Amino acid sequence: MTLHFLDLSQPIIAAGPNCPAHPLVESRLGADHPEHGWRWETLTLASHTGSHLDAPLHKLAGGASIDSLPLDRFAGDAYIVNLRPIGSREWIAAARLEELLPALPPDSIVLLSTGWGDRRERSDDWLYGSPRLAPDAARWLVDRSIRGLGIDHWGIGGWDRANDAEVHTILLEASIWICEELRLPAEVCQMAMPQQFVALPINLPGHTGAWCRPVLVMR
């Protein structure tokens, strides 16, 4: 059987859009043709840059690190939630998720398509004005025993630092991993659900998160 992958990742590029609390991405040539006979780059970036996964240790002292989570946790049936159009700083509340996911099975992966991944840019509105998951929505997802949660922006809780901290705590305390900076174009919202989602983290021992290459597996 031939598998096809629909790439849901955002590129990591020098000085590209990322969480404003993190350093800008730097990419420098360490060697080049023809002088050295090789070409390679040195990257400087936070571990929560581009498409990445958050482990409990990201918010919880003593929580599990990204390498300690079983790889099979990062694959499974995904339900893509069409939240388009959604405005700046708009709340994603429990009532809205319940309306759009009336029969969400346990152990599902939920992917929030806001459209902000299409806009990805280094602007004040994109960096600081994104939609934000409300704490009641995070609790609603915990109550449904989901496996993981993804969004097409750098942060699940937006630039409201208190809200972002609360939402991360609610989800990560329940061992729900978070995948941020996805690319969820409008067409994926029209697909039949569920879809098979895979996002394997880079093996970074003891780290709070890691870059990943998220895909939908198309049969």
Q: How far apart are CA 210 and CA 197, in angstroms?
A: 17
Catalytic residue, chosen from 58, 153, 168, 207, is 58
Q: How far apart are CA 45 and CA 13, in angstroms?
A: 10
Residue pair 178/171 in contact (Cβ under 8 Å)? The answer is: yes
Q: How far apart are CA 83 and CA 183, in angstroms?
A: 14
Residue 48 among the catalytic residues? no
Closest by alpha carbon to 117, among 86, 85, 88, 152? 152
Query: Which two tokens mark 219?
Result: 């049969």
Query: Which two tokens mark 80?
Result: 């893509």
All residues at 6 or more sequence positions from 214 whose CB lies less than 8 Å from its CB, including other chains: 7, 8, 9, 51, 150, 179, 182, 197, 198, 199
Residue 211: count of CB within 10 angstroms of its CB: 20
Q: Known catalytic residues?
A: 58
